Structure 1
Amino acid sequence: MYHRIDPVLPIIVGILQVFLSIGAQYGQLRNPDLGRVPLTWWGYALLLVGPLAIALRRRAPVAALVVTFTATSVYMLFDYAYGPVFLSPIIVIFNAVLSGHRRAAWLSAGAFFLFVVAYATWLIPHRASLFHHTAVAAYLLLTLTVAEFHRMRRERLAERRRVAQEEARRQASEERLTMAQELHDVLAHNISLIHVQASTALHILDDHPEQARTALTTIKQASKDVLTEMRGVLSLLRDGAPRSPMAGMAHLADLAERSGLPVAVEVTGQERPLPAGIDRAGYRIVQESLTNVSRHAPGSRVTVRVAYAPEELTVVIEDDGAGTARAEAGLGSGNGIPGMRERAAALGGSLAAGPRPGGGFRVEARLPLPPSAGQKEPK
C-alpha cells in the first residue's frame, strides 16, 4: 500500500503547494501591510523542495525533515505568500514520528518554532502578536500530538498481532505435545499387548493350541485398534477434521476386554459427561496402568475402580501381582508412571503409585472437576 502511495503523494503535494500558493498570493499581495512579494522561479523551486523530500522520506526520514524545514524557512525569508507551503512539514513530521525518529521530529519542530518567532518579531514590517506565536505553537503541537497518537495506536495493534501470533504458536505447540503424548500412549499400550500375547502364543503353541489361538486373536484385534487410534490422532492434523475424543472413560469396558488381562471395572457415584481433558486423562491412566501390568506381571488380576464425586474423579487401578505368565525382559522401563503423574498434575490433580502391602501394585489418580462438571451447590 505504502509503495503505491509513495510516488503519487509527492506529486499531489507539489501540485497543491504550487497552485494554492498562486491563489494565496493573489489575496495577500492586495494587502501591502503584509509585505508579501510575488512568486519568482526561486519561489516555485522552494515550493517543490518539500515534495521532493517527501519522495525520499522512507529512505532518509531525518534528512527529509531537515531539508523540508530548511526550504520552508528560506521560503518565508523571501516574503512569499503563506499557506500551502506548510503542507510538506506536516507530512515529514508524521513520517519521522512513525518511523521512530521522534527526537528529531520534536527538535526540528522546536527549532522551526523559534525561527518563526524570531522572523515574525524582527524580520517583517509589522511585529506579530502573542496570538500569532501561540497559534504557531498550537499548530506544531497538534501535528506532533496526532502523529504520536497514531504511532502509539499502530504499536498497540502490532503488539496485539504479535501476542496473537505467540498465542497461536503456543497453542500449536501444546497441540503437538498432546498428539505426541496420545501417540505414545496408543503405541505403548497396544505394542506391549501385542508383544506379550505373541510371547504367550509362542510359549503355549505346541501344548495348548486353543489358548494360542486366543492370544493370536487378541493380537489381531490390538493391531486393528492401534491403527484405528493412530488414524484418529493423526486426523487432527488435517484442517477441518473432527475433534471428537478418541478415548474416554465411557470406553473402559472395551479397553479392559482388549487388554488380555482379567480386569474387573467398578464404578461408583453418578456417571456424567466429563471435560475432554479429564475424560481423556482418566482413560490414558487406566490404559498405561494395564500396559504396566502386561509388561511386569502378565496374567495378574486387575481391578479398576472409578469414583465420581462432585468435585473430583478418582481412578484406582490395582493388580494382585500373581501373574500366571512370566514377565518379558527387554521391554524397557518406559515413562509410564512419570507420564501418568504429569497428566494428572497438568489438570491440577495428583497421582500416587506404588506396591501394595499384600502384593501387587496400586495406582490412584485424583482429578479435580470444575463446577460445571460437578453437581450444583445448594443455594
Structure 2
Amino acid sequence: MNRFALVIAIGVVVFSTSMLAQGNQPDARPIDPLGWALLAGCVLGLLPRRTHPEIALAITGGAAAVHFALGYPYAFWPAPALIAVFTLIAADRRAAGWIGAGAMVAIPATAALAQPSVDHMVALLIWGLIVLVAAQLAEVSRARRAYTAEVERRAAEAERTREEAALRRAQEERLKVARELHDVTSHTISLIALHAAVAAEAVERAGGPGEARDALAVIRTASREALTEMKDILGVLRTPESPESPESSDALDARRPAPGTERLGDLITTAGVPVEMEVTGVRRPLPPAVDLTVYRVVQEALTNTIRHAAASRARVSLSFESDGLVVRIDDDGRGRGGLETGGHGLAGMAERVAAVGGRLSAGDGPDGGFQVVARLPLAPAAALPVGAS
C-alpha cells in the first residue's frame, strides 16, 4: 500500500475512534490541542516507515506513550506503533522491533501496577496479547520473505550452474576438436608438403615432365596454405577464455580405435626423417588415456621436427621406470626455445600430459637440437621385460 494512503487511512481510524471514545469515557482527560497534536504525531510518524522504520517506531511509540500517560481516552491511537513494530520485525530488524514491542507493553504495565485493579489487569492482558500477535505475524512475514528469497537464490544458482556446465562442456569439445585437428590433420598435411617437395626435387633432377613439377608445386603450395588456415582455425577454437579441464575425456570417434604405442612403428616409418626408437625398462600395460597420450606426444614432436627443426634424424625413447613412463624425443635440428615460446602443438602436448597426471618439458637439447620429455605416471601392474628395439 502507498505510504500516504496508509497514513490517511490510519489517520481516519485514529481520529474517528478518539472522538467517539471521548464521549464514551467521561473519566478520561478531554482531548485538547496537545492531545490532537499527539494523535497527529502517532499518525504522521508512519511516513518514514519504509526507509527508516526505527525512526517511525520512535515517533509513533513516543507519541502514544505520552498520550497514554496524560490520561486521554483509550482508542486506536496505538495502531501506528503496532504497524511500526510489524515493519521492523518483518524487515529482519528483529532486535529493535521486539524492544519496541516490549516497551509498548511495559509502559501500560507500569501504570496498571501503580493503580492495580481487575479492569486494568484484564486490559493489560488483552493489550499484551495484541502486541504479541502483531509481533508474531511479523515474524511469519519475515520467515516467508526469507524463504522466498532463498528459493529464488537457489534457483538462480542452479540456473547459473547449468549454464556454466553447458559452457564448460562446449569449451571442452572445442578443445578436443582443436587438439585432434592439430594432431591428426596437421601431421598428415605436413607430410604431404614435405614429400611433395622431395618429389619435386626428384623430378627436377631426373628431368621429368614440367606438368609433374607444376602439379607438385601446386600440392606443396596448397598444403602450406592449408596449414596456415588450420592454424587460424585453431586460434579460434583454442581461446584463452576456455581452459581445458583435467576431467575432459580423450574419447575419439567410436568408429575407429584410438591410436597408441602399437602404432608408433607406422608413425616413425612415415615421419619423413630417419627415426631411431628405443624401449627400455620393464614394460607394463598402459591405460588407454596414457597410451593415446604417448602416441600424440611422439606424433606432435616428430611433426615439429619436420616443420621447424630442419633436422636430419630423430630419436624416440620410451623408458619404463618404477613409478612411471618417460617419453623422450630428440632431434639434431636447430633449437626453438621452450614451452612458453611454442605454438598450439606444444600447448596441446602439455594439456594432454597434464590431463593424465604427468609433466611435460620441451626445449633445446643438451647436445644441440630440440628435446621433448614427457613423464607419465603408471599404476603398478604385472610386468613383462622387453629389450631395446
Which residue is 1:51 aligned to? 43
The verdict on how the C-alpha distance between 1:61 and 1:22 changes in structure 2, with shifts beyond 3 A counting, is same
The verdict on how the C-alpha distance between 1:190 and 1:119 changes in structure 2, with shifts beyond 3 A counting, is same
Distance, in Å, in 1 between the alignment partners of 2:157 and 2:75 is 48
Distance, in Å, in 2 between the alignment partners of 1:287 and 1:51 is 80
The verdict on how the C-alpha distance between 1:204 and 1:250 changes in structure 2, with shifts beyond 3 A counting, is closer
Q: SS of 1:62's equivalent?
A: helix
Distance, in Å, in 2 between the alignment partners of 1:214 and 1:193 is 18
Residue 93 in structure 1 maps to residue 85 in structure 2: yes
The equivalent position to 1:190 in structure 2, one of 181, 188, 192, is 181
Which residue is 1:336 aligned to? 352
Residue 141 in structure 1 maps to residue 141 in structure 2: no
Which residue is 1:102 aligned to? 94
Residue 294 in structure 1 maps to residue 291 in structure 2: no
Residue 41 in structure 1 maps to residue 33 in structure 2: yes
What do the CA deviations read for 1:335-374 (whole angstroms, capped 9, x no partner)? 11332569xxxxxxxx9699997699xxxxxxxxxxxxxx
| Cα contact 2:252–2:258 (8 A) shared by 1 | no
The verdict on how the C-alpha distance between 1:94 and 1:113 changes in structure 2, with shifts beyond 3 A counting, is same
Distance, in Å, in 2 between the alignment partners of 1:77 and 1:129 is 14
- 1:215 deviates by 12
Q: SS of 1:55's equivalent?
A: coil
Distance, in Å, in 2 between the alignment partners of 1:72 and 1:288 is 81
The verdict on how the C-alpha distance between 1:196 and 1:10 changes in structure 2, with shifts beyond 3 A counting, is same
Q: Superposition pairs for residues 336-355 of structure 1, below 5 Å?
A: 336-339=352-355
The verdict on how the C-alpha distance between 1:206 and 1:297 changes in structure 2, with shifts beyond 3 A counting, is closer
The verdict on how the C-alpha distance between 1:216 and 1:248 changes in structure 2, with shifts beyond 3 A counting, is farther
| Cα contact 1:185–1:288 (8 A) shared by 2 | no
| Cα contact 1:337–1:353 (8 A) shared by 2 | no
Q: SS of 1:36's equivalent?
A: coil
Residue 252 in structure 1 maps to residue 252 in structure 2: no
| Cα contact 1:192–1:295 (8 A) shared by 2 | yes
- 1:102 deviates by 2.0
Q: SS of 1:252's equivalent?
A: coil
The equivalent position to 1:115 in structure 2, one of 96, 107, 117, is 107
Which residue is 1:308 aligned to? none
| Runs of at least 5 residues in structure 2 that lack an aligned partner in the other structure | 201-214, 240-249, 268-287, 304-327, 337-341, 359-376
Which residue is 1:162 aligned to? 153
Q: SS of 1:54's equivalent?
A: coil
The verdict on how the C-alpha distance between 1:23 and 1:253 changes in structure 2, with shifts beyond 3 A counting, is farther
Q: SS of 1:335's equivalent?
A: helix
- 1:145 deviates by 1.6
Residue 8 in structure 1 maps to residue 5 in structure 2: yes
Distance, in Å, in 2 between the alignment partners of 1:38 and 1:296 is 103
Distance, in Å, in 2 between the alignment partners of 1:251 and 1:138 is 74
TM-score (norm. length: structure 2): 0.57
- 1:91 deviates by 0.7
Letter in 1 for 2:107: F
Which residue is 1:310 aligned to? none
| Cα contact 1:197–1:215 (8 A) shared by 2 | no
Residue 22 in structure 1 maps to residue 27 in structure 2: no
| Cα contact 2:10–2:80 (8 A) shared by 1 | yes
| Cα contact 2:86–2:135 (8 A) shared by 1 | yes
The verdict on how the C-alpha distance between 1:188 and 1:93 changes in structure 2, with shifts beyond 3 A counting, is same
What do the CA deviations read for 1:269-324 (whole angstroms, capped 9, x no partner)? xxxxxxxxxxxxxx9999877644632467xxxxxxxxxxxxxxxxxxxxxx9xxx
What do the CA deviations read for 1:82-110 (whole angstroms, capped 9, x no partner)? 23212101110012223343222222222
Q: Could you say which structure has the larger radius of gyration?
A: 2
The verdict on how the C-alpha distance between 1:133 and 1:296 changes in structure 2, with shifts beyond 3 A counting, is same
The alignment yields a C-alpha RMSD, in angstroms, of 5.3
| Cα contact 1:200–1:215 (8 A) shared by 2 | no
What is the count of residue pairs matched by the alignment? 294
Distance, in Å, in 2 between the alignment partners of 1:359 and 1:61 is 86
Letter in 2 for 1:165: A
| Cα contact 1:36–1:80 (8 A) shared by 2 | yes
The verdict on how the C-alpha distance between 1:138 and 1:41 changes in structure 2, with shifts beyond 3 A counting, is same
| Cα contact 2:90–2:138 (8 A) shared by 1 | yes
| Cα contact 2:112–2:121 (8 A) shared by 1 | no
| Runs of at least 5 residues in structure 1 that lack an aligned partner in the other structure | 235-246, 264-282, 299-320, 343-350, 361-379
Percent identity reads: 19
| Cα contact 2:17–2:76 (8 A) shared by 1 | yes
Letter in 2 for 1:252: R
Distance, in Å, in 1 between the alignment partners of 2:167 and 2:179 is 18
Residue 79 in structure 1 maps to residue 71 in structure 2: yes
- 1:190 deviates by 0.6
